[in-house]
């Protein structure tokens, strides 16, 4: 290990070294160590959750008026913006995404805090139509300690997406970032503290998911888990939640269909399909990884797509022009290589890619070429399993019925894309395709104001949107008696 100093973590508001194993985060472009820390021990987890509970009950955060909490969240957004460049550079080092992308993720994290600040101070509770001599109300209360468990692919954005609404709701939050990418969550916790979030309201416990994440999920004081990650981990968390009768939101995997109809604008469709699968090196839950192209268009379309995919700039994440950086770890690249072998063994043919790039630049990093496979059918494993890398499977389709049958034939149902000039077809297919998000003539675009989540194995619950705050609150109905006389029944 390098001689970089060990980084303190945030245990119940106290910055100190964890009592667990030492781990290092590596720059995926070179394998160099960019940060070292000690994971929390199980005793640290216990302490952080107890302190979070104490802070929830005593710090006054939950009792602040919504506009007062909003002011703090606005300051968080402001501090993220002031530190945008160092944060973007840190995220580049932490997970190897190109700098152009990490800048956008930092901007989106600031926007998330700004949005939930506004949602916090404008959130309304309702007086409902009464059916008697009483007033009826629906109100919301914070839950207490909630947990945010995040993956490595877009750290600051995923963490902001959970932290901002959970804090807006008045909760204390324990964040468990991925072991591979702990640095941005630690920075966010520092920013929250500086902005005026009381000590103990935010903890960051980086460490192995199966140990630390599991202990957090099982803890009786943790009242809700918001999880983003793989489907098998999500199901494991859901089983624990069932035993505790604890609400969860699960943002899980995907194998999203992108559909190019015969009348699509080809320039738009080619660029959109490329961006949908190869941006973020395909390490994106919403990657458009299954491509269906109208048979008449298939030959021409694939030629244009292949030529552009082969010309994508794979390289140094620090270079502003880079379109694809390295993959997160050497192990993850091996997993992608074995998926490509699986596709080939199922009869797939490579249109482009299928190997590591060559040259001095690529020697130390975990790079992989953008890869397109064809000659497979939607039933093949390569079309059914999530690869989470820069691998696209392409198939022709004959008519709308066959298209929808295949697009919907997946355990996943996270997102879908439709490219067509026919507005009626866009509407029909957009309504019939089973997915949490549908993009028409665009792909992988987001607004924090619009709910996000998956169907089936892609998840449970929704994040984002104005109602995002209420996901971190308990609803309560109140009946306020206004009768002048005692209840007649007991007379
Ligand atoms: P993962 O292995 O499920 O890990 C996600 C997080 O869960 C990490 O912090 C991990 O910790 C933790 N974890 C692992 N085992 C756990 C357990 N038993 N209890 C509690 N926490 C546990 O997923 P990943 O490989 O990091 O991420 C890739 C997956 O995330 C893909 O399937 C992708 O589609 C999905 N994803 C979904 C969305 C969405 O919004 N739908 C967004 C991004 C990614 P460690 O890593 O430290 O072990």
Residues 115-124 as b/e (b if ≥16 CB within 10 A, e otherwise) read bbbbbbbebe
pLDDT of residue 10: 98
CATH number for domain 9-252+454-477, candidates 3.20.20.70, 3.10.20.440, 3.30.420.10, 3.40.605.10: 3.40.605.10
Q: How far is the CA of 219 from the centre of ligand 1 (A)?
A: 19
Question: What distance in Å separates the CA atoms of residue 85 and residue 91, rounded to the nearest whole number?
Answer: 10
Probe target for ligand 1 pocket from 233, 246, 279, 416, with the most ligand atoms within 8 Å of CB: 233
Task: Give the residue, by CA position, lying nearest to ligand 1 atom 12.
Answer: 209
> Is the predicted pLDDT of residue 1 greater than 60, yes or no?
no
Q: CA of 37: how far to CAs of 4, 22, 52, 88, 187, in Å?
A: 10, 6, 22, 20, 14
For 393-410, how does the pLDDT look when each residue is reduced to its tens digit (9 = 90+)?
Answer: 999 999 999 999 999 999
Category of 171 on φ-ψ map: left (φ > 0), alpha (ψ -120 to 50) or beta: beta
Residues acting as catalytic residues: 251
pLDDT of residue 98: 98
pLDDT of residue 287: 98
251 CA closest ligand 1 atom index: 41
Question: What distance in Å separates the CA atoms of residue 396 and residue 376, rounded to the nearest whole number?
Answer: 10
Q: State what percent of residues in the chain have pLDDT above 90.
A: 99
Listed as own residue / partner, the contacts of 191-194 with beta carbons closer than 8 Å and 24 or more positions apart are 191/76, 191/79, 191/80, 191/83, 192/76, 192/163, 192/167, 193/13, 194/75, 194/79
Q: How far is the CA of 315 from the centre of ligand 1 (A)?
A: 26
248: its two tokens: 């969860």
253 CA closest ligand 1 atom index: 34
218: its two tokens: 């099982």
254 CA closest ligand 1 atom index: 34
In this prediction, residues 180-196 reach a mean pLDDT of 98
**Average pLDDT of the chain, as a whole number:** 97
For 457-482, how does the pLDDT look when each residue is reduced to its tens digit (9 = 90+)?
Answer: 999 999 999 989 999 999 999 999 99
Task: Give the residue, by CA position, lying nearest to ligand 1 atom 40.
Answer: 251
Q: Nearest Cα to 391, choosing from 319, 341, 455, 458?
A: 341
Task: Give the residue, by CA position, lying nearest to ligand 1 atom 9.
Answer: 178
pLDDT band per the 50, 70, 90 thresholds, residue 3: confident
> Is the predicted pLDDT of residue 437 greater than 80, yes or no?
yes
- 260 pairs with which residues across the strands? 293, 419
Is 3.30.1490.100 the CATH number for 257-440?
Answer: no
Domain pair 9-252+454-477 / 257-440, same fold: no
Q: How far is the CA of 364 from the centre of ligand 1 (A)?
A: 25
Number of other CB atoms surrounding residue 145 within 10 Å: 29
Q: How far is the CA of 107 from the centre of ligand 1 (A)?
A: 23
For 222-247, how does the pLDDT look when each residue is reduced to its tens digit (9 = 90+)?
Answer: 999 999 999 999 999 999 999 999 99
Task: Give the residue, by CA position, lying nearest to ligand 1 atom 18.
Answer: 210
Q: How far is the CA of 152 from the centre of ligand 1 (A)?
A: 7
Q: State what percent of residues in the chain have pLDDT above 70.
A: 100
pLDDT band per the 50, 70, 90 thresholds, residue 37: very high
Probe target for ligand 1 pocket from 180, 229, 279, with the most ligand atoms within 8 Å of CB: 229
Task: Give the residue, by CA position, lying nearest to ligand 1 atom 46.
Answer: 178
232 CA closest ligand 1 atom index: 3
459 CA closest ligand 1 atom index: 41
pLDDT of residue 2: 67
Q: Is 360 exposed, middle or buried (0-12, 13-18, 19+ CB in 10 A)?
A: exposed
Q: How far is the CA of 153 from the centre of ligand 1 (A)?
A: 9
Longest Cα pair distance anywhere in the chain, in angstroms?
Answer: 91
Q: Which residues line ligand 1 (CB under 6 A)?
A: 149-153, 176, 178-179, 208-210, 213-214, 217, 228-230, 233, 236-237, 251-254, 285, 386, 388, 414, 454, 459
234 CA closest ligand 1 atom index: 3
Q: How far is the CA of 253 from the centre of ligand 1 (A)?
A: 9
Task: Give the residue, by CA position, lying nearest to ligand 1 atom 2.
Answer: 230
Find out whether 351 and 394 touch, Cβ atoms under 8 Å: yes
Probe target for ligand 1 pocket from 20, 25, 147, 151, with the most ligand atoms within 8 Å of CB: 151
Domain limits of the chain?
9-252+454-477, 257-440
pLDDT of residue 81: 98
Q: How far is the CA of 229 from the centre of ligand 1 (A)?
A: 3
* Three-class DSSP labels, 211-251: HHHHHHHHCCCEEEEEEECCHHHHHHHHHHHHHHCCCEEEE
> Is the predicted pLDDT of residue 263 greater than 90, yes or no?
yes
Question: What distance in Å separates the CA atoms of residue 165 and residue 470, rounded to the nearest whole number?
Answer: 8
In this prediction, residues 59-71 reach a mean pLDDT of 98
Q: 151: helix, coil or strand?
A: coil
């Amino acid at each position: 290990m390098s001689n970089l100093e060990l980084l303190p973590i945030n245990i119940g508001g106290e910055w100190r070294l964890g009592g667990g194993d030492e781990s290092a985060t590596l720059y995926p472009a070179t394998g160099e160590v960019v940060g070292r820390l000690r994971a929390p021990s199980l005793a640290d987890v216990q302490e952080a959750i107890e302190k979070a509970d104490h802070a929830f009950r005593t710090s006054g955060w939950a009792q602040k008026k919504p506009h007062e909490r909003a002011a703090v969240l606005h300051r968080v957004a402001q501090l993220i913006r002031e530190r945008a460049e160092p944060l973007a550079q840190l995220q580049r080092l932490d997970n190897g995404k190109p700098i152009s992308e990490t800048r956008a993720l930092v901007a989106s994290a600031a926007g998330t805090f700004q949005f939930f600040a506004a949602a916090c101070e404008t959130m309304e509770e309702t007086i409902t139509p009464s059916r008697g001599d009483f007033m009826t109300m629906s109100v919301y209360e914070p839950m207490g300690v909630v947990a945010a468990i995040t993956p490595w692919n877009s750290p600051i954005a995923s963490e902001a997406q959970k932290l901002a609404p959970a804090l807006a709701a008045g909760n204390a939050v324990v964040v468990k970032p991925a072991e591979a990418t702990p640095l941005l969550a630690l920075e966010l916790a520092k920013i929250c503290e500086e902005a005026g979030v009381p000590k103990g309201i935010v903890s960051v416990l980086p460490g192995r998911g199966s140990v630390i994440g599991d202990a957090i999920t099982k803890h009786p004081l943790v009242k809700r888990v918001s999880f983003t990650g793989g489907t098998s981990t999500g199901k494991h968390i859901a089983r624990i939640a069932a035993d505790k009768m604890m609400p969860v939101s699960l943002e899980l995997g995907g194998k999203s269909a992108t559909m190019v109809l015969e009348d699509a604008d080809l320039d738009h469709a080619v660029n959109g399909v490329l961006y949908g699968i190869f941006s973020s090196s395909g390490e994106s839950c919403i990657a458009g990884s299954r491509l269906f192209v109208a048979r008449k268009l298939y030959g021409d379309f694939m030629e244009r797509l292949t030529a552009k995919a082969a010309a994508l700039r794979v390289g140094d994440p620090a270079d502003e022009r880079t379109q694809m950086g390295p993959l997160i770890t050497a192990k993850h690249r091996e997993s992608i290589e074995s998926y490509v072998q699986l596709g080939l063994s199922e009869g797939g043919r490579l249109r482009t890619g299928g190997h590591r790039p060559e040259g001095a630049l690529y020697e130390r990093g975990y790079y992989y070429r953008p890869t397109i496979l064809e000659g497979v059918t939607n039933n093949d494993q390569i079309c059914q399993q999530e690869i989470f890398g820069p691998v696209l499977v392409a198939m022709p389709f004959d008519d709308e019925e066959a298209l929808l049958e295949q697009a919907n034939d997946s355990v996943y149902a996270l997102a879908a894309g439709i490219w067509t000039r026919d507005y009626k077809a866009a509407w029909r297919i957009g309504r019939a395709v089973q997915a949490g998000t549908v993009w028409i003539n665009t792909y992988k675009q987001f607004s924090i104001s619009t709910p996000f989540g998956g169907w089936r194995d892609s998840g449970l619950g929704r994040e984002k949107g104005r109602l995002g705050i209420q996901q971190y609150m308990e609803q309560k109905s109140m009946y306020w008696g206004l009768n002048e006389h005692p209840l007649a029944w007991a007379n």
